[in-house]
């Protein structure tokens, strides 16, 4: 019996790959991806001051490792647009005459605006700001300016956390849960579509129909689009009436984006169904994609706190882009103009995996 089981295990390559692959995947993801103190978060600066102290302050923020200044904006509107689109996590405004007012001992104020829709992503940087600013200016507070080093704080720090100022966790989790539930259920349901036909003995009837593989796969997918929308409706109702999550955007925009995401998950599931030889393999494939979808999408941990290789993988997953859309529409009031950069990767993913499914669809029982 022992020898027989080893032989059977060796023949079932899919199960054997899962036995080895899932622990390795979990080790890599949990070891490298989980980061509750993210650093090097993208930031933009509105530098209206031309004096040396303004540049010193900016360099001090860079040296703290919490902020990577990727953009210099010219207006407040431009900076807040980047915050809304999620391209930067912080907007630092250094006002005009900052250096002059600082040297006069007038305690000029700088403004730090943060995208707090994900509280974990901004909490570390905001908590470190006071000490960072004080340390940054010490190099300039020497000689005739030494009296400024004793007048702590020499700078007024104004912090405005936007979109979730009270740092309520379920404001971030519940919109993201929409993507997780759709991924978990829709991929699994359609993953069984073709293999179920084979195991029930109805595949012959399906092959006898005068249908192109594309027609078969699309026909299998369309009914579950309505199932996906039912799930979306239930989550939105729960978000509103159970968790009091605000909804600042356009519901129609979110529903249109949901169609893209539902279609991508259904296409992935139906492709798994064409690759799998039985329902067990289809379930294993669906389970294998679920863990990276949760860990690498930014659902549980800040996306930009992950290593670069994990971010690259995460960008290929449709759930990553849908989470940005769901949170952006509900918490930030993003409109259709802001969502195009997140919708096209989802559409491309759906087309690619559907093409793979069409190529792998077997038109015979052999």
Give the whole-angstrom CA distance, residue 119 versus residue 127: 12
Q: Which of 70, 58, 55, 153 is nearest to 106 (CA)?
A: 153
- 93: helix, coil or strand? strand
Instruction: Give the DSSP letter string of 295-364.
Output: HTTTSSS-GGGS-HHHHHHHHTSHHHHHHHHHHIIIII---HHHHHHHHHHHHHHHHHHHHHHHHH--SS
Kindly state whether residue 8 falls inside one of the protein's structural domains. no
Instruction: Give the number of other Cβ atoms within 10 Å of residue 362's Cβ.
Output: 12
Q: Is the pLDDT of residue 236 over 90?
A: yes
User: What pLDDT is attached to residue 323?
Assistant: 94
User: What pLDDT is attached to residue 277?
Assistant: 75
pTM: 0.85
Residue that finishes a domain, picked among 133, 162, 191 = 162
Helices (H), the chain: 2-11, 13-28, 52-63, 76-85, 98-103, 119-137, 147-150, 169-191, 193-200, 203-208, 213-241, 251-275, 279-295, 308-315, 318-327, 336-360
Kindly state whether residue 20 falls inside one of the protein's structural domains. no
Q: Is the pLDDT of residue 143 over 70?
A: no
Kindly state whether residue 5 falls inside one of the protein's structural domains. no
Residue 365: pLDDT band by 50, 70, 90 thresholds? very low
Q: Is the pLDDT of residue 233 over 80?
A: yes
Give the whole-angstrom CA distance, residue 48 versus residue 76: 11
User: What pLDDT is attached to residue 320?
Assistant: 94
Domain count, the chain: 2
Q: Are 270 and 354 in contact (CB under 8 A)?
A: yes
Q: Output DSSP code: residue 125.
A: H
Kindly state the percentage of the chain with pLDDT values over 90: 27
User: What pLDDT is attached to residue 293?
Assistant: 87
CATH code of residue 113: 3.40.1710.10
Kindly state whether residue 106 falls inside one of the protein's structural domains. yes
Q: Tens digits of per-residue pLDDT, 77-130? A: 999 999 988 889 999 998 888 888 877 777 888 899 999 888 888 888 888 887
Q: Tens digits of per-residue pLDDT, 161-185? A: 999 888 888 898 999 999 999 998 9
Residue that finishes a domain, picked among 130, 162, 194 = 162
Pull the structure tokens for residue 250: 């356009």
CA torsion sign for 60, 62, 67, 72 is positive
User: What pLDDT is attached to residue 180?
Assistant: 92
Instruction: Give the number of other Cβ atoms within 10 Å of residue 319's Cβ.
Output: 29
- Which range marks the domain in which residue 181 is found? 168-360
């Amino acid at each position: 019996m022992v020898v027989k089981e080893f032989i059977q295990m060796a023949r079932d390559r899919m199960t054997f790959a899962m036995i080895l692959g899932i622990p390795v995947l979990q080790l890599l993801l949990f070891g490298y991806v989980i980061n509750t103190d993210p650093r090097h978060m993208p930031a933009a600066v509105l530098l209206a001051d031309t004096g040396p102290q303004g540049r010193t302050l900016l360099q001090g923020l860079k040296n703290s490792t919490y902020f990577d200044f990727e953009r210099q904006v010219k207006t407040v509107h431009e900076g807040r647009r980047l915050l809304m689109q999620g391209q930067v996590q912080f907007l630092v405004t250094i006002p005009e005459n900052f250096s002059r007012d600082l040297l006069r001992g007038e305690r000029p104020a700088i403004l730090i605006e943060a995208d707090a829709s994900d509280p974990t992503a901004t909490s570390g940087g905001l908590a470190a700001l006071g000490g960072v600013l004080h340390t940054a200016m010490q190099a300039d507070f020497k000689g005739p300016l030494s009296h400024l080093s004793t007048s702590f704080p020499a700078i007024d720090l104004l912090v405005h956390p936007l979109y979730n100022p009270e740092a309520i966790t379920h404001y971030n989790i519940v919109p993201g849960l929409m993507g997780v539930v759709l991924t978990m259920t829709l991929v699994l349901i359609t993953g069984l579509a073709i293999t179920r036909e084979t195991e029930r003995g109805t595949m012959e009837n399906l092959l006898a129909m005068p249908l192109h593989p594309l027609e078969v796969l699309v026909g299998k997918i369309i009914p579950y689009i309505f199932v996906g929308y039912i799930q979306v409706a239930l989550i939105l109702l729960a978000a509103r009436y159970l968790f009091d999550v605000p909804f600042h955007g356009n519901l129609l925009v979110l529903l249109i984006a949901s169609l893209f995401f539902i279609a991508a998950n259904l296409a992935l599931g139906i492709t798994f169904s064409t690759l799998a030889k039985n329902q067990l393999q289809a379930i294993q494939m669906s389970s294998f994609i679920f863990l990276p979808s949760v860990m690498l999408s930014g659902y549980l941990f800040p996306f930009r706190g992950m290593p670069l290789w994990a971010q690259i993988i995460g960008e290929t997953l449709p759930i990553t882009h849908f989470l940005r859309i769901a949170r952006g529409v509900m918490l930030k009031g993003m409109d259709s103009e802001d969502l195009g950069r997140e919708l096209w990767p989802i559409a491309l993913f759906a087309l690619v995996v559907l093409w793979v499914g069409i190529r792998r669809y077997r038109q015979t029982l052999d």
